[in-house]
Structure 1
Amino acid sequence: MTKANNMRTPFNIKLAFLLCLAAGSPAISRGQQNVQYSQYAFNMLSVNPAYAGYKEDLYLNAVYRQQWVNFPGAPKTGAVSLDGALNTREQRVGLGLQVTYDKLGPQDASSVYGMYSYRIPLDDEGTRRLCLGVGAGATQYSIDGTALVYNDSGDPAIPAAKVSTIVPDARFGVYYYTPNFYAGISVMDLFSLYTDNTRYYWRNYNYKVIRKTQHLYLTAGTVLNLSDNLKLKPSFLVKEDFKGPTNLDLNAFLLIAEKVWIGGSYRTGVKIWNKSHLQSDLEQLDAASALVEFFATPNLRIGYAYDITTSKMSSAQSGSHEISVGITFPNKRQRVFSPRYF
Structure 2
Amino acid sequence: MKRIFKSLVLLLCLGMMSGARAQQNVQFTQYVFNSMSVNPAYAGYKEELFAQLGLRSQWVDLEGAPQTGLLSIDGLLDLYGARRHGGGVQIMADQLGPQTATSAYLNYAYRLRLDREDTQRLSFGVGAGLTQYSLDGTMITVLDDGDNVLPTGKISNFVPDIRFGIYYHNARWYAGASIMDLLSGTSADNLFRWDQTTVDRIRRKRHLYLIGGMLVDVNESLKLRPSLLYKDDFLGPSSLDINVMAIFSDRLWLGGGIRTGVSAFRRDYRRFTGDRLSGMNAVSFVMQIFATDRLRIGYSYDYMLSRLNGLQNGSHEMTLGVTLGRPLDRIKCYF
* TM-score, length of structure 2 as denominator length: 0.91
> Any idea what SS the aligned residue of 2:201 has?
helix
Counterparts in 2 of 1:126-205, with a 5 A limit? 126-153=118-145, 155-193=147-185, 195-196=190-191, 198-199=193-194, 201=195, 204-205=196-197
* Residue in structure 2 matching 1:77, options 58, 65, 68: 68
Q: Which sections of structure 2, spanning at least 5 residues, go unmatched?
A: none
> Any idea what SS the aligned residue of 2:308 has?
helix
- Which has the higher mean CA deviation after the structures are superposed, 207-216 or 265-274? 207-216
* Residue in structure 1 matching 2:278, options 278, 283, 290: 283
Q: Give the conservation status (yes or no) of the 8 Å contact 1:115–1:134.
A: yes
Q: Which sections of structure 1, spanning at least 5 residues, go unmatched?
A: 1-10
* Residue in structure 1 matching 2:333, options 307, 317, 340: 340
RMSD: 2.1
Counterparts in 2 of 1:207-286, with a 5 A limit? 207-278=199-270, 279-281=273-275, 282-286=277-281
Counterparts in 2 of 1:14-163, with a 5 A limit? 14-18=5-9, 27-86=18-77, 87-153=79-145, 155-163=147-155
Deviations along 1:270-313, one digit per CA (max 9) or x if unpaired, are 11121133233022121111011000001100000011001010
* Residue in structure 2 matching 1:306, options 301, 304, 308: 301
Q: Which amino acid aligns with 2:263?
A: K
1:207, distance to aligned residue in structure 2 (A)? 4.4
Change (3 A) 1:267 1:196: same
1:260, distance to aligned residue in structure 2 (A)? 0.3
Instruction: State the identity as a percent.
Output: 45
> Any idea what SS the aligned residue of 2:59 has?
coil
In 2, Cα distance between the equivalents of 1:161 and 1:276?
34
In 1, Cα distance between the equivalents of 2:89 and 2:96?
23
Q: Give the conservation status (yes or no) of the 8 Å contact 1:23–1:31.
A: no
1:19, distance to aligned residue in structure 2 (A)? 5.5
Deviations along 1:157-180, one digit per CA (max 9) or x if unpaired, are 332221100000000000000122
1:142, distance to aligned residue in structure 2 (A)? 0.2
Q: Which amino acid aligns with 2:282?
A: A
Q: Give the conservation status (yes or no) of the 8 Å contact 2:156–2:198.
A: no
1:47, distance to aligned residue in structure 2 (A)? 0.2
> Any idea what SS the aligned residue of 2:41 has?
helix
Aligned length, in residue pairs: 326
Q: Give the conservation status (yes or no) of the 8 Å contact 1:23–1:33.
A: no
In 2, Cα distance between the equivalents of 1:267 and 1:73?
22
Change (3 A) 1:76 1:329: same
Q: Give the conservation status (yes or no) of the 8 Å contact 1:101–1:108.
A: yes
* TM-score, length of structure 1 as denominator length: 0.90
